[in-house]
Structures are given as C-alpha cells and as structure tokens.
Amino acid sequence: MLFKSKEMHKPLQPTIVIRYWGRKAGGIAEPYLYQYSKDGSIVLDPFGGAGSIIKTALALDRRAIYIDANPLAALIARVEIEGVDATELSQSSAVLLENPKFLNFYQIQCKCGSKADVLYFLCANGRLQAAKIKCQCGCSFVELGCPDISFSDYPCDFPSVKLWYDNGKPFLKRRQVDHIYELFSPRNLMILSSLLAKIKEIRVSERTKRGLYLAFASILYQSSKMSRLGSGSWGINSYWLPQMHVERNPYALLKNALIRLSHIKTLALAVEDVKTVIRGEERAAILNEDAKKLPLHDNSVDMVITDPPFTDEIQYFELSVMAASWLNLSLPFQKEIIVNHNQGKSINDYYRLLFQAFSEMYRVLKKHGTAVIMLHDESLNVILSLAELIESAGFQCIKKETKQMIQRHVGDRDKISGKNLYILTCKKG
C-alpha cells in the first residue's frame, strides 16, 4: 500500500467469471482512490476493460463511470458489477443442464463393458488419442486412437467469422487457422450451438440474460482446441492449435461457470445514462463508448483513474473476436487504440489516438481534480513518450512511481520490464 488511512481495509476480491487480458488487481487502484477522492465522488475510467478499477471505486462508496469501446469488455464489467437474479439463475441453470442433447458425445464404453462418463479427451490431428473417464470399476483412462466425428454427421449452426481484416490482411494474433469454427471440434461446436440456442430461448430479465451469455463466453477457450492439459486459462495471446489438445465437456464447464456467476456480489445496478450518475441519482454507468470522444460535459468528474491499452502485445479486439462472434457482438476495430500494422496503425498512430483520449480526460475532469494514469510497456522510450503526451494534454504531473504488476508479464521480449507499471499522478490546473 502506498498510503495509510483509517478507511482502508482488505482489498476487494470480486468474483471473476471470465478471463480478460490485462486485468489489474483492485488493490493497485485502492490507495489512489482513498487519497484523491471521497465518498460520493464521481470516478471515471475511460479504458475500463474488465472493470477492476470501477469495482474498487464502487466498493469504496464512490460513484463510477465506466467506458470502453470493446462491447465484450463492457459486458464483462457490467455482469461482474451487477451480478444476476439468484432465482432466475437457479431456474435457468436447471433448464440448461437438464437432459443435455448431446450428452452421449462424452460417454464411451469402458474396458469393463459399462458406459462411462468422459471427463476429457486427449486429441491430435483429428483423432481421439485417449479419454479420461469416471467409471464404477475404478478405471480412469482409456486409450482410443480413433477418428473424431465429422460435421456431415451432425450439421449445426456456428460462427463463420474469419480471422482476417476487411482489407484482406490476417489478424496479428493467429496461427494455422482462418476461421473461428476451426478452433473447435464438430462435437463441441454442436454442444455449444445447442447451449447458446437454449440461452436465447430462456425468458429472464436482461440482467440475468447478460450473465448467462457471459457464462457461456467463459467456457469457449476450454471448449476449444487451444486448451491444453494442465493449462486452465488462455495463457498465449493468440489463436493457435497445439500439437495435442484437451477436449473438455462444455456441459461440465458451463455448470462451473454458472456457479461462479452465482457467487457475484452485486455492487450496483448499472445504467447507460451518465447524467443520472452525475446528479447522484444512480451509482454506476457502464458505457460501450470511445475514450477519444467521451460522452461527458466539461469539468464533470472528480477523478480519472485508468489503465490505457498496451502498444501491440495484447490485441484486445482480436482476442475478443472468439466470444464476440458467438454472442453476435460487433467489434469497432476502427476505434481501437493499438499498434497493429495489419490494421494500418503504427506507433505514431497509437500516440496520436492516445493523445486524443488524454485530452478528453483533461476536458471532463474538474478543475484541481486528479488523474491517475497507469502506463506499462517493455520499452522505457514508449513510457517517456506517453508521459510527454499526458503533459501536452494539459496535465501537471505531481508524482511518478514504478510498481511491479502481479499479473503475467506483457509479452516475451523482456520479462522484467514487462511487469513494471508506471503510475503518473496528475492534476488539472
């Protein structure tokens, strides 16, 4: 902790439903929120991501405005802030997991002759190599060496999104595959399609429906061919196919995701009208908007605290395409602040776009208000350039600090500097 206060307590440990790249621990933001805001202050995060900063602000009784151009990020933040209706979730879980249509896809005959449930398959090159099973005879592993089922056997609807840009250039973070459906076996494409169709049909409140969609999105990586034995999360920031992958049962994965969803503690019910938050009528606004054009009046927020996007290592929009394609979310790549030569965005474009965002932060911050901006990159020159842009936008930097991030390093070029977080505390004169 950087500061001490009678108010301070153990950092908030919210439930996380889905992995999102670049999440920061709420404890990093907490001391700054205590130091530079008070109960009822309006706190803005214009690069909200998964909402870690805004969750912390709400837990500390601040009013919060979240903004992010990525609709998947906005969905994650809203669900993890609002939670769901417990009764509706219980009823929905029963509907989704009762009498699964393709349950037989995860059942095989054990050596003892009994039908056994498959916990996962080990697969390579379109063939099932082995199965981890749970059988009454005590057998736990069966070697197979047989071909997988084919699309022609069980036709279904699935995303046909291509991992290429409209300009004819491929995503930076893709290898071996051109379409989203290539990342899944026919077995799991059919199960996932069936589950999503059920979610769409369930009649619940929009709040709970959002939670169900997010729970579904959270199981896509482990249901895909990218999943590896002993690797629970999406650890490599790319779409790729390992030599051998683990085929996990989406029904079992969804059951666990729904349990995680049920553990969310509601911090606030979010709105999309920032005026109601500014007037003190509501506590939180979640907006899927552009940080370069903030939908706020001049001098309207008490504090800005944010974590701008990396230069090029984490391609947030590209990596959101898998979930977005299943959920039918449109990703506005033209609004993304990133270094991506296949999008036609250079490092100079990144600086230019971020300067627009810094200028907007300065505009909406009240006079004498504080902006805390967290910068991270493996290049110190990039950090120094960003600090200059922040001051060029009008801010006066009053403190500069370096912290070590708990999360995995950013990229593989420099594991030490990739963990450094440079925090600038600035004032609006």
Here the tokens at position 401 are 């600090």
Residue 91 lies in a domain: no
Average pLDDT over residues 23-47: 90
Buried residues in 322-355 as b, exposed as e (16+ CB within 10 A): bbbbbbebebebeebbbbbeebebeeebbbebbb
Query: Exposed, middle or buried, 166 (CB in 10 Å: 0-12/13-18/19+)?
Result: exposed
For 92-140, write each residue's pLDDT tens digit: 999 999 877 788 889 888 888 888 889 999 998 878 999 999 888 888 8
Do residues 320 and 101 lie in contact, with contact meaning Cβ atoms separated by under 8 Å?
Answer: no
Whether 278 and 229 share a structural domain: no
CA distance 362 to 46: 12
Point out the domain boundary residue: 262, 282, 306. Answer: 262
373: CATH: 3.40.50.150
Count of structural domains within the chain: 2
Whether 375 and 251 share a structural domain: no
The answer on pLDDT for 2 being more than 50 is: no
The answer on pLDDT for 9 being more than 90 is: no
Average pLDDT over residues 398-422: 66
In the prediction, which pLDDT does 65 show? 98
Half-sphere exposure of 75 (CA within 13 A, CB side): 27
Average pLDDT over residues 63-71: 98
CA distance 341 to 172: 8
In Å, what is the CA distance from 170 to each residue of 63, 135, 160, 166, 274?
Answer: 41, 45, 15, 9, 37
Whether 255 and 112 share a structural domain: yes
Whether 291 and 415 share a structural domain: yes
In the prediction, which pLDDT does 109 show? 86
The answer on pLDDT for 155 being more than 60 is: no
Range of the domain at 291: 26-83+268-427
Whether 326 and 411 share a structural domain: yes
CA distance 44 to 68: 11
Average pLDDT over residues 379-407: 91
Point out the domain boundary residue: 216, 239, 262. Answer: 262
Q: What is the dihedral of CA 152, 153, 158, 159, to 10 degrees?
A: -30
For 199-235, write each residue's pLDDT tens digit: 999 999 999 999 999 999 999 999 999 998 877 678 7
Point out the domain boundary residue: 222, 243, 262. Answer: 262
Poorest-pLDDT segment among 33-42, 197-206, 416-425: 416-425
For 242-261, write each residue's pLDDT tens digit: 989 999 999 999 999 999 99
In the prediction, which pLDDT does 13 show? 59
Residue 8 lies in a domain: no
The answer on pLDDT for 193 being more than 90 is: yes
- Phi and psi of 120, rounded to 5°? -165, 160
Whether 222 and 341 share a structural domain: no
Average pLDDT over residues 374-385: 92
Residue 143 lies in a domain: yes
The answer on pLDDT for 148 being more than 60 is: yes
The answer on pLDDT for 90 being more than 90 is: yes
The answer on pLDDT for 5 being more than 50 is: no
For 302-356, write each residue's pLDDT tens digit: 999 999 998 998 999 999 999 999 999 999 999 999 999 999 999 999 999 999 9
